[in-house]
């Protein structure tokens, strides 16, 4: 399957593309490099949230997706082995789910899950099965993927706990117990594939989930700026969480544009995505292409006092909007992103992950396997 190569359309050569894909992968996964976010122990491998010095299902599932895309089964299996050993719940109301945060030695910081980890785990495992074939447990990848998705939808009947998707509206929850969502969790392009590969009884649900998540993204994106909040009600209205965050455009929300770009790459252009992406790039022209001018914003565009914690991740997101829409600033954003090195400071984890996903999308190398 030949995917659109946006970077090539802007004049970047195959040699430049391949060199950057290899260089950034090596920097992120070679222990000891200043850009590295990967570690290993006697059990397996883990991606380190360097800002919080812990391991999260978000990072583990991202690492699995990156390594399956790059055909690195050795690292993939180490990450999955560590995840199953330390993060998997085998009893209680969270049985079948993964604890969202552990210390580097595997000690759990929490029992509850974060649904974005589960959906990335399942997709990466399906791809691993197709690329390398199933082996003995826990490397029977497709079996593991289907089990994750079964729990995501049927946790109430399986354990008495709460499912990760709302059965009535087909939308993913922020955590199983919350009747609201995170727009950046919505991956309709994954759900389209789940509807083909998961247990037959659940395939209609995932088809509807893809449809409803595309609608949610449009509802959540501001009609002037294209910005989404970190958290939202099911109708797309910004949601302030009980701990006081979430109703503004900040770190989580950067991922929404990456998601609609990948949906575009795999399943075709959509007018609503083009509009959101164009508004998004046009909004950030006010920063004069300077990372130091990235801040937290209300979704309607008011700049707040807090500076962006992950400016390189935001830059990656803005550049990736070019997959959906060409604007007068697309070339500038692409040039800025591709000519900026990965972060080396303690906040590098989130930025470097988003940057690698942006590379795969912009180069047409994020593939359905």
Q: Under a CB-based contact definition with an 8 Å cutoff, are residues 326 and 264 in contact? A: no
DSSP secondary structure letters along 146-202: HHHHHHHHHHHHHHSS--SB-TTT--B-SSTT-SSB-GGG--HHHHHHHHHHS-GGG
Q: Distance of alpha carbon 176 from its chain centroid, rounded?
A: 18
Phi, psi of 317 (to 5 degrees): -65, -45
> Does the annotation mark 58 as catalytic?
yes
Neighbours of 129 (CB within 10 A): 22
Distance separating alpha carbons of residues 187 and 206, to the nearest angstrom: 11
DSSP at 48? -
Q: Between the CA of residue 191 and those of 123, 124, 196, 237, what are the distances in Å?
A: 9, 13, 9, 23
Q: Under a CB-based contact definition with an 8 Å cutoff, are residues 336 and 315 in contact? A: yes
Q: Under the phi-then-psi rule, with left for phi > 0, alpha for psi from -120 to 50, and beta for the rest, what region is 216?
A: alpha
Q: Under a CB-based contact definition with an 8 Å cutoff, are residues 174 and 182 in contact? A: yes
Angle between helix 271-283 and helix 203-220 axes, rounded to 10 deg: 40
CA dihedral 351, 263, 273, 358 (to 10 degrees): 20
Catalytic residue among 252, 263, 296, 351: 252
Catalytic residue among 27, 49, 54, 58: 58
Residues labelled catalytic = 58, 252
């Amino acid at each position: 399957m030949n995917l659109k190569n946006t970077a090539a359309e802007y004049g970047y050569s195959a040699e430049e593309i391949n060199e950057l894909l290899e260089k950034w992968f090596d920097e992120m996964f070679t222990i000891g490099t200043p850009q590295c976010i990967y570690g290993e122990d006697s059990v397996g491998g883990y991606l380190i949230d360097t800002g919080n010095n812990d391991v999260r299902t978000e990072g583990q599932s991202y690492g699995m997706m990156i390594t399956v895309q790059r055909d690195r089964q050795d690292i993939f299996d180490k990450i999955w082995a560590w995840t199953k050993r330390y993060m998997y719940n085998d009893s209680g109301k969270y049985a079948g789910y993964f604890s969202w945060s552990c210390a580097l030695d595997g000690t759990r910081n929490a029992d509850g899950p974060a649904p974005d980890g589960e959906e990335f785990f399942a997709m990466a495992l399906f791809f691993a099965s197709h690329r390398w074939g199933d082996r003995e447990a826990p490397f029977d990848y497709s079996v593991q993927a289907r089990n994750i998705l079964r729990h995501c939808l049927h946790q109430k009947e399986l354990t008495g706990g709460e499912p990760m998707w709302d059965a009535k509206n087909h939308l993913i929850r922020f955590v199983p117990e919350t009747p609201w969502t995170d727009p950046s969790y919505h991956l309709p392009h994954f759900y389209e594939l789940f509807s083909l590969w998961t247990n037959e009884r659940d395939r209609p649900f995932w088809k509807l989930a893809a449809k409803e998540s595309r609608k949610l993204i449009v509802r959540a994106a501001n009609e002037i700026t294209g910005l989404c909040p970190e958290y939202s009600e099911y109708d797309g209205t910004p949601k302030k969480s009980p701990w006081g965050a979430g109703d503004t455009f900040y770190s989580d929300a950067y991922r929404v544009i990456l998601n609609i770009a990948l949906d575009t790459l795999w399943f075709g252009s959509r007018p609503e995505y083009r509009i959101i992406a164009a508004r998004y790039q046009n909004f950030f022209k006010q920063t004069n292409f300077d990372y130091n001018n990235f801040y937290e914003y209300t979704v309607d565009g008011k700049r707040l006092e807090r500076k962006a914690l992950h400016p390189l991740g935001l830059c990656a997101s803005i550049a990736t909007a070019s997959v959906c829409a060409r604007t007068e600033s697309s070339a500038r954003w692409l040039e800025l992103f591709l000519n900026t090195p990965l972060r080396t400071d303690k906040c590098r984890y989130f930025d470097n992950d988003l940057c690698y996903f942006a590379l795969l999308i912009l180069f047409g190398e994020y593939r359905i396997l």
